[in-house]
A and B are shown apart, each in its own frame.
Chain A
Amino acid sequence: MIELKGLTKRYAGKSVVDDISLTLEDGEFGVLIGPSGCGKSTTLKMINRLIPASGGQILLNGDDVADLPVEQLRRRIGYAIQSTGLFPHWDVARNIATVPQLLKWPKSRIDDRVDELMALFHLDPAEFRGKYPHQLSGGQAQRVGVARALAADPEVLLMDEPFGAVDPLTREVLQAEMKRVHQQTGKTIVFVTHDMDEALSLATRIALLNQGRLVQYDRPIELMVEPADDFVREFIGQADLGLKLLSRRWVHQYQREARLQQTETLDSLHAHGWLIDDQGRPSALAGARLDDADAITRVKPEWIATPEMSMKEALSRMVWYRVMVLPVVDDAGKLIGEVGMQGVMGMQDEPEGALS
């Protein structure tokens, strides 16, 4: 648990962080967001004392961080930054092992931990262990950076715009991975970004900052549904608020039972059915095409949905591939349901139930 109490930072008498108080419970994914210069990075760096606070208090699981020896404090806190900050003279394994080595773990334990983390981030140890940072792609380097931050199983993970410097496609992949890692590890994370979409897709709590002050601290849905003031409304951006809402809702909330293709003919535009192969995987869709209601369409991997996919993503795939429904499959690729265009308007259950 992290508690900020009246946290303040002044430079030459000017407050860049002004009296911020908030509490982040264990296992939460907290995002600090705001326009550039709002003090979000400064706030983050005061938590591991890279920047000394001018006033206020930070409690890490009840301990005042100002009372802890600074290096010890930082070894309890994982830290990942935008440019990765990987050490160019160390290979991937040694980079990940940075903090365990500082903590003088036995070598076998370090090796096991490195392999474990590389597996967590889908980096093949055989291929990547001995590579140097300059031999990695941006996305790979960023994974190593986060793996390094997690290496010593820290109480908290701080991330300063970690995906700011990678291309949009890689960023989406990394975000999905981050979400998975958060779920698997249950870490408490403090994440700084200026990208609202990133915040909405990752956060369980969002702290919106402006000119050093905390404007609103809420769950993402509340931020969208009940913005505290015009600044919040503007910062979220009203234009595609609907789509942003959908980015916080998940396919499994809209999922319904899949209708299998029967022999009889299709009677209306919305009538359709799935063909499945002998392993239960969807192979083709009969009907439900905008351009040709009677068509049999081969199922492509690009227009399959998974229960954890956001509805925004699912909707986007429907529009792009011109189909009214997507098959929902499990990890093995088995058809477990479907999600359709008309379902977007109504939910099967309350969305927030899944979030809390």
Chain B
Amino acid sequence: MNAPVASSHRASRLTQVRARASGNLVLGGLIIVLVALTLGMGALEPLFHALFPELRNPLYARDSFLNLMLAHIGLVLVSSLISVTIGIAAGLFVTRPVGREFEPMVSSLAAIGQTFPPAAVLAIAVPLAGFGFAPTIIALSLYGLLPVIQNTIAGLGTVPQTTLEAARGNGMSRTQILMRVELPLAMRVIIAGIRVSVIINIGTATIGSTVGAKSLGTPLIAGLVGNNLAYVIQGALLVGLLAIVTDLLFERLERRYSFGG
């Protein structure tokens, strides 16, 4: 009676392994392309010359693409760290007995807040914080906070009552239950929230160049304003690849925390 179950299990595991192997190849390839383009966009200059013969400078040269990439990643990393720290802390607070009263309010704030267009949030940060790095970080952190809070609450909510009862019944303290049972079980959903937040922030950081923050959006916007399509393509390619690679990395991270439920 066990045999068919076991063998179908094995078969699905096999296709999973195969899919994962081809996924690794794709991800590896994309990372190589991303790094190569960041470091060696200059090598493509003849190509851009051929594509856009009417342009005198078809390669963005006001800053190195490596600098732009690092600035972009820096923006996203700093803001995501802030959002993740505050977001998980807030999510934990409103799911503990002390903060449970705040849960409905925080949940609806997170839901309503996400209907705000990221570009509008970025624009509104300008009168509050001026131009440059600061408003972009503020807008990105604030906006990125919401999916993290939402998913932390949702993830902790998926932990079954019986599992919690078993944990208490086995003599775990509150901290032990949180660290050993609740957080590991909620982690997949929390990471999904961080993934959403980071992907949105990669996109919004691009627009950050309109408020004066250096990012991969800088050549893109410069190209749009100066009617230089080559700049647009260079910026768009890099930021697009960055987003896809990040998303794939998060997908793998999420998979680590699924326990067959």
Which residues of A come within 8 Å of B, CB atoms? 48, 50, 71-77, 79, 81-89, 98-99, 102, 132-135, 137, 145, 148-149, 158
Contact = CB atoms under 8 A, between A and B. Distances in A.
Contacts of A85: 160, 162-163, 165-167, 169
Shortest beta-carbon contacts, A-B, top 3:
A85-B166, A74-B171, A79-B169
A99 B173 CA distance: 12
A143 to B, nearest CB: 15
Contact of B169 (A50, A72, A86, A137): A50
Interface string B180-221: 110011000000000000000000000000000000000000
Contacts of A137: 2
B9 interface: yes
B185 A88 contact: yes
B172 interface: yes
Nearest to B2: A137
Nearest to A151: B170
A84 B160 CA distance: 11
9 contacts: A83-B160, A85-B160, A85-B167, A86-B166, A87-B185, A88-B259, A89-B185, A135-B260, A148-B170
Contacts of A48: 169
A99 B167 CA distance: 10
B162 A83 contact: yes
Contacts of A83: 160, 162
Q: Which of A73, A86, A98 has the most CB of B within 10 A?
A: A98
Interface of B: 2, 9, 160, 162-163, 165-173, 176, 180-181, 184-185, 257, 259-261
B170 A75 contact: yes
B163 A71 contact: no
A149 B162 CA distance: 14
Contacts, number: 75
Given A83-B162, A102-B171, 13 more contacts: A71-B171, A75-B170, A75-B171, A79-B166, A81-B166, A84-B162, A86-B163, A87-B163, A87-B185, A89-B259, A102-B172, A133-B260, A134-B259
Given A87-B181, A88-B261, A132-B260, A72 B166 contact: no
Contacts of B259: 88-89, 132, 134
A81 to B, nearest CB: 6
A78 B226 CA distance: 73
Contacts of B180: 87
A99 B185 contact: no
Nearest to A79: B169
Contact of A89 (B166, B169, B184): B184
A88 B171 contact: no
A16 to B, nearest CB: 18
Contact of B166 (A87, A134, A135): A87
Given A88-B260, A134-B260, A50 B170 contact: no
B261 A134 contact: yes
Q: Which of A76, A99, A158 has the most CB of B within 10 A?
A: A99
Contacts of B181: 87, 89
A273 B9 CA distance: 50
Given A88-B261, A89-B184, A134-B259, A81 B176 contact: no
A89 B168 CA distance: 17
B129 to A, nearest CB: 41
B165 A81 contact: yes
Contacts of A76: 171
Q: Which of A48, A84, A88, A145 has the most CB of B within 10 A?
A: A88
A158 B170 CA distance: 11
Q: Which of B9, B169, B172, B260 has the most CB of A within 10 A?
A: B169
Contacts of B171: 71-77, 99, 102
Contacts of B160: 83, 85
Contacts of A89: 181, 184-185, 257, 259
A134 B160 CA distance: 14
A67 to B, nearest CB: 16
A287 B166 CA distance: 55
A89 to B, nearest CB: 5
Nearest to B181: A87
B9 A135 contact: yes
Given A48-B169, A88-B260, A102 B176 contact: yes
Given A89-B184, A89-B185, A102-B176, A81 B169 contact: yes
A179 to B, nearest CB: 23
Contacts of A79: 166, 169-170
Given A87-B181, A89-B185, A99 B170 contact: yes
Nearest to B188: A89
A73 B166 CA distance: 14
Contacts of B169: 48, 50, 74, 79, 81, 85, 158
